[in-house]
Structure 1
Amino acid sequence: MEFYDFYTGQDFDSYRFLGAHPSDSGVTFCTFAPAAQHVSIIGDFNGWTDTGMGKIYDGNFWECMIPNAAPGMRYKYRIYKKDGSFLDHADPYAFYSEVRPGTASVICGLSDYHFHDEKWNRSRSASYNKPINIYELHFGSWKKKTDAPDGWYSYQELAALLIPYLKENGYNYLEIMPLAEHPCDESWGYQETGFFSPTSRYGTPDGLKAFISQCHQNGIGVILDFVPVHFAVNDYALWKYDGTSLYEYPSADVGVNEWGSCNFMHSRGEVCSFLQSAACYWLREFHFDGLRMDAVSNLIYWQGRPERGENKSAIRFLQNLNQGLKKRFPHALLIAEDSTAYPGVTAPVSQNGLGFDYKWDLGWMNDTLSYFQAAPSQRTQLYHKLTFSMHYFYNEHYLLPLSHDEVVHGKASIVQKMNGGYEDKFPQARALYLYMYAHPGIKLSFMGNELGQLREWDEKREQDWELEDYPLHKAFHRFLRELNHCYLTCPALWELDSSREGFQWIDCHQEEACIYVFERISGSQTILAIFNFSDMTRSYTFTCDRIRTFRLLIASDMTQFGGTCDYPEKELLFRKKTAEFTLSAFSGRWYLLD
């Protein structure tokens, strides 16, 4: 490790030096604890009694080699403060941890696992002209294993179940909620203690590598939810690691956030190197295809509040992180979950941007869901909630999310949010998704959304798979499955996503009728998207510049999807300069134009 780079926040490989590293001679342990009076190693190999560690380099690092230590053994660092008291800490750079409620680190080297994803690696890129349809997943509650104590499937077992499901349903990317070790299931992985340690809930690091390798062999990219903002307050982890605020701010005003966890102090180079190395570790060692970075607004502004001003140190950290990752992994998708209007989130660092590839369009999400929550009689006044996104869309590269955040904490599930009673909710939800997939921007939907789930997500329960026994839910699932495949195979819906040439409003002034019409365009295709979001059947006249053929691709009100329309004619030839359409309530259609 280059110590100068480590101290100045330029290091991306500190995990190769710090932590526990097995060799033929035993295991070498190394930790960074500059304010410690003394550090010992305790573990299975010495009966959990002190074995002293010696200072190396400039005295801020502590190291020892234990000949009889071996992979699979547990350990901690016993860190003595200036007053003689001590705390036993898990290794910040541990590559594995024991299953909760245990808190010890587990010796686990950087394995020589052999991936079988060479073909995938040769083809992957972070380009903006490809379809990206993301299924967001929480490993522990997608499905529950009835004969396992906590109901968890292993990484390998999930691969056998999940990969066929993703392929059948038309998702070509998987985003996994945080997998770094965390003590509390209810935190969903966002309150972390082991930033280099894949959670032992679901198996070993090699098991996770095998899962990713199998995804790649089946044409599925894998994105990890990464948390660079804060960490869990548990005293065995990073909190006051060497007896001082080594990783966190010493002042509670900026050191403790709205979630009650500790904010990383990004003004310290050692902290930046720690986080950069963790990000690099997941991309390099596990072959993840990208990182979704959580709570970026809390890095841009102090405590995520613009009125408190910009956090210049955290912004520099983000720029250095993204620029460094892109240099090492040009293919990686770097995605910001950011709710602010801060400019240049997806602009290159060379242009003073933050260097992300995509930003979550939370404005689109809020406007769209509030529109569909409103009564049909109110939608005439809210009409331009659905046109506003295209006023700013080309300022950034956007991802359209209907994520886990939208189906928890009293917000209701996506289908449940729709206005009206049970039967009215499904046509509106189908129309919503058809609109979402026609709108520019890559897509993300949380697990269970495809089932038309009516309850909020609960990490203690699996998804409501029994809903497939109910006709409306089964038809809704079929609709989303066909919609996903249609999206993946139609270049007009993604080839020019980042170009103004890829989208054109045909009619966005039907306020009273709640009708919206636009085209999606690529070099080889034009798709006409027509929507009627009112509760009444509407007639609409489309003006043609010439004789045109309209081939129906998909309609949200087809009978096989739970609608009322059969569409016996899938191809319509209009010889006049007008095309007449009758649009049922709460519906949408896509036509491929000649």
Structure 2
Amino acid sequence: MIVTSATDFQLHLFHEGTLNKSYELFGSHIVRHRKKVVGTRFTVWAPNAKKVRVMGSFNEWNGEVHPLEKLNNEGVWSIQIDEDLLGHLYKYEIVTQSGEILHKADPFAFHAEVRPKTASIVYDLEGFKWKDQNWRRKKKRKLVYEKPMFIYELHLGSWKKKNYGELYSYTELVTELIPYIKEHGFTHIELLPLVEHPYDRSWGYQGTGYYAATSRYGNPKELMVFIDACHQEDIGVILDWVPGHFCKDAHGLYMFDGAPVFEYKNYHDRENEVWGTANFDLGKPEVRSFLISNALFWMEYFHVDGFRVDAVANMLYWPNSKEEHANPFAQEFLQKLNEAVFEQDYSALMIAEDSTDWPLVTSPTSSGGLGFNYKWNMGWMNDILRYMETAPEQRKHLHDNVTFSIVYAFSENFILPFSHDEVVHGKRSLLNKMPGNYEEKFAQLRLLYGFFLTHPGKKLLYMGGEFGQFDEWKDLEQLDWFLVNQYESHQQLHHYFKELLAFYQQYKALYELDHDPNGFEWIDADNREQSVFSFIRKGKKPADTLVVVCNFTGASYEGFRIGVPYLTEYEEVFSSDAQEFGGNGRVNEQEVSAEEGAYHGKDYHMMVNVASFGVSIWRPKKIKGER
């Protein structure tokens, strides 16, 4: 619903911070009466402006022709032009209190010119015919806590490019990207920010148009086509979303009317010195209306399934301080945000990218939590990568890097991320982080992925990791697809990853109790000298039990004894050392019978062969009392 003029009640809610669909009021809107277009309305918030005018391709960029009326003392301005201006370019011409004239893009614009041009475009989002009704019904019946969730994080501009580096459009990606996601068995994709942004190399994290899907890949309805196609193939779509800070380009939100509007007034709080951006003033009610509305907007018009909320730590604590000082405005904003999102869609994914130890991030706001339903486990990611980058013979000195995560694994609903941040800026790709020679790098990456998959928590992998991108992510180029086409080791790793993901989908023990301590049990967490870890993953039924053995050194063992929970036969259902994956073929082809005799605190034990740099997963054949 688009209103034709602002009501006092709407303005009250906006200035109170609770106009959660402020995009219905602000921005440019085609106005209809009995389905007939009668005009175009422009509404903007510029509380410090002396005058506001709209200039565009419809008035030869002469703002004097169309001045906006100031509706209230808080600085909401509006005009209705009795013309159908659909498709026209425009900007706001703002006269500051000092007499300076600024030309600003519309903060609520639904569409924008392709960079480097910066004008907003009058665009009508209505009328798209969605075909994802089955997906939307299904996801509300089956929440993800007890379901598989393996997210493929990607940057649309560098996943794959056409000849001469041309970008694929949203609609072209329907046939290029979606079959690839489906083939691999990923449950969701997570897209680096798609808000309009001027600089390609910001990857979308420094936005100017929060309501405008970036025009680099097409128009907003073409993005709707892409998301609709994802849903029809049972693929969820998560947007990386940045409510903490924004870029300072002249046409954007920064000093919108010549003074702080969207940002903090105080310089020390406003300036994000690390990224060269400005921090949103999360204590200002109108900014809360703007940002919370933005999340609901993407859900309503684009059917997105959730958000990875970027840089939560940067919001929770005041910036530019050597000590951590909590920002109460941010805490309250995040709580209000999550409440609003879940009120609109209780099955939404709200994922905090948070590196702090802030408590109760994924607890309900009614219990004092922030209200997210997932949090990235940055601690696990840092610990395991440091461990893997260490020479195998020295890993015994970092043994706790592997075991410590279980201490807190169930304190939040965690996603284990291997994200874009870990494969840029000289950090090297996951494959190239692995020590040793060429073959050992691949063996250890298979090992890492196997441990990743069997550790409690949902999963996320950045694009290219699935086939062993050797160079770190090059954001101006496409992934190194030639590796898959020309090199057997990368082909085998790619095959391994697809088989591993299919295995994950098949066995409930790997996802059903991800957030329940009853879903995990150590067998041996103390074998520091050999760096061999063994543990049990459990589902709701004993028959779903899996026994996992991970060997993080280059030594292999025959007749290796491990404790097991049941006196039965066990079969090895997955081995990272299989020859088809590029391994040495040290697999356990025969079933192994457990024997009586306590070991590792279990009543029974079995003797197995353990491959160097290998993951071996075992399933009990028949458990007494189970059918």
- Which TM-score bucket, shorter chain as reference? over 0.9
Return the TM-score normalized by structure 2: 0.92
Equivalent pairs counted in the alignment come to 592
> For 1:395, what is the secondary structure of its paired residue?
coil
Residues of 2 paired with 1:336 and 1:116: CA distance? Answer: 30
- 1:67 deviates by 2.6
Could you tell me how far 1:434 is from its partner in structure 2? 0.2
Report deviation, 1:571. 3.9
- Show the counterpart of 1:136: 153
Cα pair 1:175 1:224 within 8 Å, conserved: yes
Q: Which residue of 2 aligns with 1:330?
A: 346
Kindly indicate whether residue 46 of structure 2 is the aligned counterpart of residue 33 of structure 1: yes
| Residue number in structure 2 paired with 1:436 | 452
Q: Report the RMSD for the aligned CA atoms in angstroms.
A: 1.5
Q: Distance in 2 between matches of 1:306 and 1:542?
A: 48
1:547-583 per-residue CA deviation (whole Å, 9 max, x = no partner) reads 3222222111110000011647264444664311121
The one of 517, 536, 539 equivalent to 1:519 is 536
- 110-119 vs 428-437, which deviates more? 110-119
The residue correspondences of 1:7-156 to structure 2 (distance < 5 A) are: 7-23=15-31, 24-50=37-63, 51-58=66-73, 60-125=75-140, 126-146=143-163, 151-156=166-171
Query: C-alpha deviations, 1:16-41, integer Å up to 9, x for none?
Result: 00000013012111111111111110
Does structure 1 conserve the Cα–Cα contact (< 8 Å) formed by 2:588 and 2:609? no
- Among 282, 286, 293, the residue aligned to 1:270: 286
Q: Is the 8 A contact 2:206 2:277 kept in 1?
A: yes
1:487 equivalenced with 2:504 (yes/no): yes
Cα displacement (A) at 1:235: 1.4
Between the aligned partners of 2:392 and 2:587, the Cα distance in structure 1 is 25
Secondary structure, aligned partner of 1:462: coil
Instruction: Give 1:191's aligned residue.
Output: 206
Q: Would the aligned equivalents of 2:586 and 2:609 in 1 still touch at CA under 8 Å?
A: no
1:244 to 249, 252, 259: 259
1:529 aligns with 2:571: no
Q: Against the structure 1 CA distance between its residues 476 and 65, is the aligned structure 2 distance closer, same or farther, given a 3 Å change threshold?
A: same
**Equivalence for 1:505:** 522
Contact 1:9 1:270 in 2 (8 A): yes
Report if aligned partners of 1:505, 1:517 keep a CA contact under 8 Å in 2: yes
Residue 586 (structure 1) aligns with: 613
Q: Which residue number corresponds to residue 256 of structure 1?
A: 271
The alpha-carbon deviation at position 241 of structure 1 amounts to 0.7
- SS of 1:315's equivalent in the other structure is helix
Residues 381 and 560 of structure 1: is their aligned pair in 2 closer, same or farther, counting only changes over 3 Å?
A: same
Compute the displacement of 1:523 (Å): 2.0
The percent of aligned pairs where both chains have the same amino acid is 42
Q: In 1, distance between residues paired with 2:100 and 2:563? A: 81
1:434-490 per-position Cα deviation (integer Å, ceiling 9, x unaligned) = 000000000000000011111111111000001012011110111011111111121
Aligned to 1:372, the other structure's residue is in SS state helix
> 1:41–1:575: structure 2 CA closer, same or farther, 3 Å change rule?
same
Q: What CA distance in whole angstroms lies between the structure 2 residues aligned with 1:70 and 1:263? A: 34
Q: CA 1:286–1:545 in structure 2 vs 1: closer, same or farther (change >3 Å)?
A: closer
* Aligned pairs (5 A) from 1:213-224: 213-224=228-239
The aligned amino acid for 1:17 is L
Q: Is the 8 A contact 1:20 1:109 kept in 2?
A: no
In structure 1, distance between residues paired with 2:468 and 2:210:
34
Structure 2 residue corresponding to 1:547, chosen from 567, 582, 607: 567
Partner SS for 2:14: helix
Question: CA contact under 8 A between 2:586 and 2:611: conserved in structure 1?
Answer: no
Alignment of 1:109-508 (within 5 A): 109-125=124-140, 126-146=143-163, 151-257=166-272, 258-303=274-319, 307-468=323-484, 469-508=486-525
Q: Distance in 2 between matches of 1:304 and 1:414?
A: 31
C-alpha contact (below 8 Å) 2:113/2:121 kept by paired residues: yes
Secondary structure in structure 2 of the residue aligned to 1:504: strand
Q: Which runs of 5+ in 1 are unaligned?
A: none
* Alpha-carbon distance in 1 for matches of 2:431, 2:515: 29
Is 1:556–2:564 an aligned residue pair?
no
- TM-superposed deviation, 1:70: 2.1
Contact 1:177-1:224 at 8 Å conserved across structures: yes
Distance 1:104 1:234 in 2: 13
CA distance in structure 2 between the partners assigned to 1:127 and 1:527 by the alignment = 21
* 8 Å contact kept, 2:16–2:286: yes
1:108-145 Cα offsets, whole Å, 9 max, x none, are 12322111010100011444111100000100000001
The Cα of 1:4 is off from its aligned counterpart by 2.3
Measured after TM superposition, the shift of residue 76 of structure 1 is 0.3
Kindly provide the amino acid, as one letter, of the partner of residue 292 in structure 2.
Q
Contact 1:298 1:304 in 2 (8 A): no
The CA distance in 2 between the partners of 1:154 and 1:287, in whole Å, is: 19
Deviations 1:201-232 (A, max 9, x none): 00011011111111000010000000000001
Contact 2:105 2:118 in 1 (8 A): yes
Q: 1:174 to 1:544 in 2, by over 3 A?
A: closer
The answer to which of 447-456 and 573-582 deviates more is 573-582
Q: 1:334–1:356: 8 Å Cα contact kept in structure 2?
A: yes
Which SS does the other structure have where 2:409 is aligned? Answer: helix
Query: Structure 2 unaligned runs (5+)?
Result: 1-8, 32-36, 597-603, 622-627
Q: Matched residue of 2:190: which SS? A: strand
Determine if contact 1:94/1:196 at 8 Å carries over to the other structure: yes
How many angstroms apart in 2 are the aligned matches of 1:546 and 1:239? 64
Contact 2:592 2:608 in 1 (8 A): no
Change (3 A) 1:570 1:228: farther
Q: Which moved more, 1:579-588 or 1:62-71?
A: 62-71
SS at match of 1:366: helix
Structure 1 residue 305: Cα displacement? 5.8
Matching of residues 565-576 of structure 1 within 5 Å: 565=585, 567=587, 569=589, 571-574=591-594
Cα deviations by residue, 1:397-454 (Å, 9 ceiling, x for unpaired):
1000000000001100001001112221110000000000000000000000011111
Q: Which has the higher contact order (CA 8 A, sep 6+)?
A: 1
Contact 2:269/2:320 (<8 A) preserved: no
1:477-514 superposed Cα distances (whole Å, 9 cap, x missing partner): 11011111111121111111111111110111111111
Q: 1:568 to 1:373 in 2, by over 3 A?
A: closer
TM score, norm. by length of structure 1:
0.97
Question: For the residues of structure 1 that align with 2:46 and 2:21, how far apart are their CA atoms?
Answer: 18
